[in-house]
Amino acid sequence: MANPAFALQAAAVVIAAILIVVLPKFLEFDTILQISLNFAFAILALSVAFVWGYAGIFSFGQAAFFGIGGYAYAAAAINLGDSTVAIALGVLAPAAFAVVLGYFVFYARLSSIYVAVITLVVTLILYKFMGQTAKPSYMVGKAMLGGYNGIPAIPPINMPGRPDLYAGPNEIFVIAGLSALAVYVALRLLLRSRLGRILVGMRENELRIELLGFDARFYKLVAFVIAAAIAGLGGVMYANWNAFIDPHVFSLAFSAQPIIWTMIGGLGTLIGPIIGAFVLSTLSLELGTQQTIDINLIMGLVFTVFVLLVPQGIVPTVRKFWSDRADARTAPTGKEAKRHG
Site residues for another protein per CB under 8 A: 58, 101, 104-105, 107-110, 112-114, 116-118, 120-122, 124-125, 127-129, 131-132, 194, 197-198, 200-201, 204-205, 207-216, 252-253, 256, 259, 263, 293-308, 311, 334, 336-338, 340-341
Q: In Å, what is the CA distance from 64 to each residue of 46, 71, 130? A: 14, 10, 11
Taking the complex as a whole, how short is the minimal distance between the CB of residue 6 and another protein, in angstroms?
Answer: 16
Taking the complex as a whole, how short is the minimal distance between the CB of residue 34 and another protein, in angstroms?
Answer: 24
Taking the complex as a whole, how short is the minimal distance between the CB of residue 261 and another protein, in angstroms?
Answer: 14
Complex with another protein: residue 22 or 307, whichever CB lies closer: 307
Pairing mode, strands 139-140 and 143-144: antiparallel
Taking the complex as a whole, how short is the minimal distance between the CB of residue 210 and another protein, in angstroms?
Answer: 4
Angle between helices 62-80 and 112-131 (to 10 degrees): 40
- Cα 36 to the chain's mean position, in Å? 15
Complex with another protein: residue 153 or 211, whichever CB lies closer: 211
Taking the complex as a whole, how short is the minimal distance between the CB of residue 111 and another protein, in angstroms?
Answer: 8
In sequence order, which residues have a C-beta less than 8 Å from that of residue 97 and are 6 or more positions away? 65, 68, 228
Per the CB < 8 A criterion, the answer to whether 189 and 26 are in contact is no
Distance between CA atoms of residues 72 and 203, nearest Å: 31
Complex with another protein: residue 29 or 218, whichever CB lies closer: 218
Taking the complex as a whole, how short is the minimal distance between the CB of residue 75 and another protein, in angstroms?
Answer: 19
Complex with another protein: residue 14 or 204, whichever CB lies closer: 204
Taking the complex as a whole, how short is the minimal distance between the CB of residue 141 and another protein, in angstroms?
Answer: 21
Complex with another protein: residue 168 or 213, whichever CB lies closer: 213
Complex with another protein: residue 12 or 327, whichever CB lies closer: 327
Complex with another protein: residue 153 or 326, whichever CB lies closer: 326
Spell out the long-range contacts of 196-203 with Cβ–Cβ below 8 A and sequence spacing 24 or more: 196/54, 199/54, 199/55, 199/56, 199/223, 200/54, 200/55, 202/55, 202/56, 203/54, 203/55, 203/56
The one-letter amino acid code at 120 reads: L
Distance between CA atoms of residues 133 and 140, nearest Å: 11
Q: Please, what sign has the CA dihedral across residues 74, 157, 90, 115?
A: positive
